[in-house]
Structure 1
Amino acid sequence: MTRLVLLAALVLACRTPPRVPSPAKLAQPRLVVLIVVDQLPSWLFERDRSVFRGGFDRLLREGGYVRRGELPFANTFTAPGHATIGTGAVPRTHGIHGNLWWRRDQQRDRSAEWDPEAPILPIVDLDKPLPVDVGASARALRVTGIADALRSATQNRARTIAIGLKPRAACFLAGRQPELAVWFDAAAGGMTTSRAYTSTAPPWLVELAKTKPPSRFIGQTWTPLDPVYLARQTQIADDAPGEGGLHGMGVAFPHLVHDFEELLHTPFADELVLDTATAALDAMQLGTDEVPDLLAISLNAHDYAGHNWGPDSWEVLDLTMRLDTSLGAFFTLLDRKLGKDGWAAVLTSDHGATHVVDRSPVTGAKRFSPSEIAKEGGPMIAKVSSNQAYMTPAWAQLPPAQQQAARTAAANAIRKRYPEIDVFDTSDASHCKERSLAGEVCRGLVEGLSGELYLAPKRGFVITEYPTGTHHDAPNPDNQHVPILVRAPGLAPQMILSASILQVAPTVAALLGVPPPEAATEKPLFEIEPRSRARP
C-alpha cells in the first residue's frame, strides 16, 4: 500500500508542471536600462546562445529569458517596433505604422520621425547649414511611453534619455518626450539631437564629438575575430549566395570603412552608441540618487549588417560576438558605478529577419520590387510604401462605390501576378481582436494614415528594392518572434517559452516603480509587480 501511495505521488509530481520562480520582493534599482538590438530574431539568437560569453550571457545567467517575444502585428519594421516596445501598444493605437509612409497631402514618402518644426542641431562647426525640412521628433506618436510615465510619477525629477544610431529608434523608444533623444547624423557632425528636446546642443555631446569623433572610424578595416569559428557556426561561406556589396563594402571580409554610410554597417557603429551611453551616465548623473532614471539604448548596426549580408552571415555573427563583449563591459561599468543591485536591464528586439532568399529554407523564395507591384496594381496606385499600397488623388475623388471597385480591382491584379503575397483591404477593421493574419494586419494599421491595401508576403518572400540581402517585412515567426531578457536585483534565473512584446513597457515601468504608459494593457513579465514608491 505504501508503495502504491509513493507511486501515485511520483506520477502526480511528474504531471505537475514545474513552478516558474517569481520574485517575492525585488530590490529597487536606481537605473533601468532598456536595450534594443535591431533585427535580432529568436531563431538566430537561439542558434548563437552557446557563443555568448559577455553581456548576453550575463543576462541569461542572472535573469529571466523569454525565448519567443511575439509581435502581435504585421508591419515588423524598426519604427513601429521601437514605438511598441516603448509604449506597450500596437501600431493601430500608437500611430507609427512604418519606417516611412506616403503623405497624401504631399504625394511623397516621409520618415516616421519627420518633423519640420524640430530641426536637427549641429554638434560641430559646419561649412554649410543643415537642411531646414529634415527635423526629427516623436511628434507622430499618439500615446505616452515609459519616459513620460516616469517623468509624470516623479514630477519631472527623473532623468530620461534614449540613444540610438537611427533617429527613428531614438525618437520612439522611450516615448513622446524623454528629457533627451540622441542619434547619429553625419551632416550634423556626430551623435546629436533636435529642438524637440533642447534648444542647443548639450555641452557633453559637443565634447564627445571632439574627444571621440565618428571620423576616427573612417579608414579603419573590419576584420573577423575568428574566420574558422565563423565558418563552423554559420555553416556557410563568407561570400555566400545573396550577400550584398552595397556602399562599396564588398561581400566578404575584410571591410574597409570609406565613409559614414559604410560605418553604419559595422561594429564601430555600436561602439559609437555605447560611447554615448557611457558619457550620458556621468553627464546626466544617471542612477546617482533615489529618484529612478531611464537609459534607453538602440543598437542598430545589427540591422544594417543583416540587410546587407543576411542575418545568418559571418558579418552579423562577428558583429554580435563583439556586441556581446561590449555589453559585458558596459554592465561591468554599471556594477562599478551603481553596484550590482543598483541597476536593472531589459533587452529585446524590434523585429526579426527573413532568411536571405538565395539560401532560404523556403523553396522558391523571392524578392519582389514595390515599384513593380505598384505597376501591376494599375494606374490607381500612387505608391507602395512600407508594404502598403496608396491610391491616387484621382481615386480619392471617385464616388464610394467606384472607389471600392477600383480598390478591389487593384487587389485582384496584385494577387494574380503575385500569388505569394496576401493582399488585404485596409478599410475592413473587423478583425483587429482576432489571433489571425487578418488581425495582425488590422493591429498594424493606422486609420487615416495607412494605405488602401496591405501586402503581406508569405514566409520566405520579401518586398524590397534591394537586389541582394534580406528584409523583415513579412508577418511570420521569422520576423515576429524576438528574445526578451530581464535582469533585475532579486529576480531568479528562469525561462519561459513565449510572451508578448507588449509586456516589455509594463515590465520596465514595474522595475522603475511607476504606473505603465497609458495605452499599455499587458502585465509585466515574470510576475514582476508594480511597487509603490514614495513620490520624491
Structure 2
Amino acid sequence: MKRFIFIFFIFSITASVLGQNEKPKLVVGIVVDQMRYDYLTRFNNKFCENGFKRMMREGFNCKNNHFNYVPTYTGPGHTSIYTGTTPKYHGVISNNWYDKEKKKMVYCAGDDSVTSVGTNASAGQMSPHRMLTTTFSDENRLFTQMRGKTIGISIKDRGAILPAGHTANAAYWFHGEDEGVWISSTFYMNTLPKWVNNFNDSKTAESYLKDWNTLYDIETYTESGTDLNNFEGGFKGKETATFPYELAKLKTKNGGFSILKVTPYGNSLIADFALAAIDGEALGQDDITDVLTVSFSCTDYVGHNFGVNSKEIEDTYIRLDKDLERFFNALDKKVGKGEYVAFLTADHGAIDVPAYLQSVRINSGYVDNDARKKVFQKFLMETFGTNDIVENISNNQIFLNKEKIKELDLDLDDVQEAIVNEQMTYKHISKAYTATAMGSVDFIEGIEALLQKGYNQKRSGDVILVDDPAYINYGKTGSTHGSGLNYDTHVPLLIFGKGIKHGHTFKKTEITDIAPTISALLGISFPNFAIGQPLDFVLE
C-alpha cells in the first residue's frame, strides 16, 4: 500500500511538471507598425532565411488576416490585438479623440496623474488607464498570481503601454529630442531599473546617428519605385528624399535623436533594448510564463514620410528582417529553442500615396476638410440658426452639443439625420451614419459592420463619415491609414514556437482572434471582453 502511494505521488508530481513544461516560458508579441500583408510577399526575395521566413517556415501563416473594425489607427490596433476585442468595448477609439465629458481632445495613453521616470520632460506622463478591458498579458499575470512578468517595449509610448496592459511590471518607450533615452512613468515605477540606466548610459542610440544608405545595391531594389519622385516627404535640410541620408548632420533640424524614429535604425534600437530587457528582467528563465510585447514603430514613421512604394520602406523592411533574425537567434540562446512562442502582426496597413495612384490612373485623391467645414457651417446657420450645436469634428466623426439641441427644442434624432443627409451631398463622402443607427441596427457585413465594431456609445460621435476609397485628408507626400478598406485592414499574422503547428491558411482570420488563441495556448482566462475565437488550427 505504501509503495502504491509512493508511486502515485511520483506520478502526480511528474504529471504536474509535464503540465507546466507544456507551456512556453515566454510569449513574445511583435507588432510591426503599418505593415501591409503584401510586404511579406513583395519583399520576400530580399529577406534572409531566419527572420520573417523562419516564422513562415517553422510556424503558421494566416494569409487572410484582417482588422474587423474602423478606425485602423495605432492605439486601437495595439489594444485590439492584445484584448481580443474592438473599440466598441475596449474604448480606445483612436489615438486622440474628443472627450464628451471633459469637452476637449484626449490622448489614448495620456495621464496627468502620473509623472515621467527617466526624463524631466512630460513624455512620460502615460498609462493604460483609458483602456477599459484586460489584455491576455493581464490575464497571464492574474493566472500566475502576478509571478509571470510582463514587459512592454516600443519607440511609441502607446505601442509599449497598451499591449502590456494594466498589470504590467513595466512599459518602456523612447524619448528622442536632445536626450535619446528609454523612459517610463510612475504608473509602473519610481526609478528606472539599473539595467535600463546602463542601457541609456551605453550611448547605443547615439551610435545609430550615422549614414543611412541602402543595405544592398539600390539598383537591386526592384520591388519599389524610383528613388527620386514627387511622392515622398524626406528630411528638413536635404533637398531631395533620396539616399543616402547623413543622420548626424540632419538631426539638428529633424528633432535630434527623434530622427531615428524615421529610419530603420530605430527598429534596431528597439531590438537592442528588447534583448537587454530579457537579460535585465530574466524573462523566460523559469516555468512560469512571462510576456514580452515589442512594437517596431519605425516602419510607421518611414511609411508616413516616404510612402509604401518607396526605396526607403523596402530598405526598412530588409533591415527589420535582419533584426528579427538576430532577435530570434538570441531568444534561442537566452530562453531556449522551442521554449518560447512568438507571434507577429501589425496594428494597421497603409494606402499607396494617392498622388502616385493618380499618376497611374487609379481613382484616388485628397479631401479638403477645411472646405467641407465652411460649407457645413453655412448649412448649420441656415438650418438651425447657429453653429453651436456642433462641439467638435474629428476622426471622421461629428460630436453634437446635446445641451444646445435641448435648449433649441430640437429632436436629437432629427438633427443627426439632417446632418447625414447634408454630408452625403459633399464631394468624396461615401457614406454617413447616425449614432442612433450604430446603436440600434445590427450590421453583419460591409463597412457598416466595421464602423459598428469601432463605435463606442459613450466615447464616439453622433455622426460617422466615410470617405471615398483611396481619398484621404493628408499631405501630397507619404502614406497614411485609418479606413476599413483592404489596404488598411489586411495585415500579417505569423505564429511560431512551442505548441504551434506548421502550415498556412487562406481562411479569414480577424485581429481579435490573436488574444484568445494565446490565452488558449497558455490555458488562462480570455481577456474579459474578448470577442474573437481561438484559432484551433494553429495549435498543436
TM-score normalised by the chain length of structure 1? 0.87
- Of 176, 193, 205, which residue of structure 2 is paired with 1:202? 193
Give the deviation of 1:176 after TM superposition: 2.4
Report deviation, 1:225.
Answer: 1.7
In the TM superposition, residue 146 of structure 1 has moved relative to its aligned partner by: 1.3
Instruction: Say whether residues 1:506 and 2:505 are aligned partners.
Output: no
Indicate the residue corresponding to 2:233 in structure 1.
244
Q: Structure 1 residue 45 and structure 2 residue 47: aligned?
A: no
Aligned twin of 2:289: 292
SS of 1:416's partner is coil
Give the Cα–Cα distance (whole angstroms) in 1 for the partners of residues 326 and 500 of structure 2: 21
Q: Which of 483, 494, 498 is the matching residue for 1:474?
A: 483
The answer for the alignment partner of 2:117 in structure 1 is: 121
Which residue number corresponds to residue 415 of structure 1? 424
CA distance in 1, matches of 2:30, 2:133: 21
Corresponding residue SS for 2:276? helix
1:459 shift after superposition: 2.1
- Deviates further, 150-159 or 196-205: 196-205
Residue equivalent to 1:534: none
The answer to whether the aligner puts 1:253 opposite 2:263 as a matched pair is: no
- Going from structure 1 to structure 2, the CA distance change for 1:68 and 1:373 (only over 3 Å counts) comes to farther
Counterpart Cα distance in 1 of 2:236 and 2:373: 27
Deviation of the 1:109 alpha carbon: 2.2
Q: Which moved more, 1:447-456 or 1:59-68?
A: 447-456
> In the alignment, what sits opposite 1:491?
500
Does the CA-based 8 Å contact 2:428-2:468 persist in structure 1? no
Of 268, 278, 281 in structure 2, the residue corresponding to residue 281 of structure 1 is 278
With over 3 angstroms needed to count, the CA separation of the structure-2 counterparts of 1:450 and 1:223, relative to structure 1, is: same
Partner of 2:156: 166
Partner of 1:325: 322
* Closer/same/farther in 2, CA of residues 370 and 317 from structure 1, 3 Å limit: same
Give a deviation string over 1:157-197, Cα, whole Å, max 9, x none: 00111111111111111322211111112367511111111
- What corresponds to 1:353 in structure 2? 350
Deviation at 1:390, TM superposition (A): 2.6
Match of 2:184 among 175, 184, 193: 193
CA contact (8 A) 2:175 2:258 kept: no
Which residue of 417, 438, 446 corresponds with 2:448?
438
* Alpha carbons of structure 1 residues 321 and 29: separation in structure 2 relative to 1, 3 Å: same
Mean Cα deviation higher: 419-428 or 150-159: 419-428
- 1:136-175 equivalences under 5 Å are 136-175=126-165
SS in 2 for 1:401: coil
Partner of 1:3: none
Aligned pairs (5 A) from 1:212-231: 212-218=203-209, 220-229=210-219, 231=221
User: 1:216-264 CA deviation, whole Å, 9 max, x = no partner?
Assistant: 434x221112344554112x21123321135556422222331233221
Residues 321-347 of structure 1 deviation map (CA, whole Å, 9 limit, x = unaligned): 000011001100111112211111110
Contact 1:373 1:384 in 2 (8 A): no
1:296-311, aligned counterparts within 5 Å? 296-311=293-308
* Of 311, 316, 323, the match for 2:313: 316
2:367 is the alignment partner of 1:368: yes
CA apart distance, 1:308: 1.0
The answer to which of 168-177 and 290-299 deviates more is: 168-177
The one-letter code of the counterpart of 1:445 is: Y
Preserved contact between residue 261 and residue 301 of structure 2 (Cα < 8 Å): yes
Q: Deviations over 1:288-346 (max 9, x none)?
A: 01101101100010011111111121111100000001100110011111221111111
**Equivalent residue, structure 2, for 1:232:** 222
1:421 CA displacement: 3.4
**CA gap 1:122/1:247 in 2 versus in 1, 3 angstroms:** farther
CA–CA separation in structure 1 for the residues paired with 2:169 and 2:90: 20
Deviation of 1:81 after TM superposition, in Å, equals 0.5
| 3-state DSSP of counterpart to 1:351 | coil
Cα distance in structure 1, aligned partners of 2:235 and 2:368: 17
Residue 519 of structure 1 corresponds to 529
Unaligned runs of 5+ in 2: 1-19, 378-386
1:34-183 matches, within 5 Å, as 34-53=29-48, 54-123=50-119, 129-131=120-122, 135-183=125-173
Measured in 2, the distance between the counterparts of 1:99 and 1:327 equals: 27
Residue 93 to residue 446, structure 1, CA distance change in 2 (3 Å): same
Counterpart of 2:23 in structure 1 is 28
SS at match of 1:193: strand
- Cα distance in 2 for residues equivalent to 1:432 and 1:356: 34
Distance across 1 between alignment mates of 2:59 and 2:492:
13
CA distance in structure 2 between the aligned counterparts of 1:115 and 1:280, rounded to whole angstroms = 25
Match of 1:385 in 2: 394
Give the match's secondary structure for 2:81.
helix
One-letter code of the match for 1:365? Answer: S
Any conservation in 1 of the 2:172–2:183 contact (CA below 8 Å)? yes
TM-score by length of 2: 0.86
Q: Which residue identity lines up with residue 222 of structure 2 in the other structure?
A: R
AA matched with 1:349:
A
Structure 1 residue 396, shift from structure 2 partner: 5.2
Residues 70 and 501 in structure 1, CA contact (< 8 A), matched pair in contact too: yes
Deviations 1:391-424 (A, max 9, x none): 3577455457344444334333332222343222
What CA deviation, in whole Å up to 9, does each residue of 1:342-387 have, x standing for no partner? Answer: 1111100111111110122673311224444433332344433222
Q: Is the 8 A contact 1:387 1:463 kept in 2?
A: no
Equivalent residue of 1:427, what SS? helix
Letter in 2 for 1:30: K
Name structure 1 gaps, 5 residues minimum. Answer: 1-24, 124-128, 531-536
The residue type equivalent to 1:483 in the other structure is P
- SS of residue in 1 equivalent to 2:291: strand
**Which stretch shifts more, 174-183 or 242-251?**
242-251
8 Å contact from structure 2 (residues 131, 162) kept in 1: yes
What is the identity percentage for the equivalent residue pairs of Structure 1 and Structure 2? Answer: 28
Retained in 1: the 8 A contact 2:180–2:258?
no
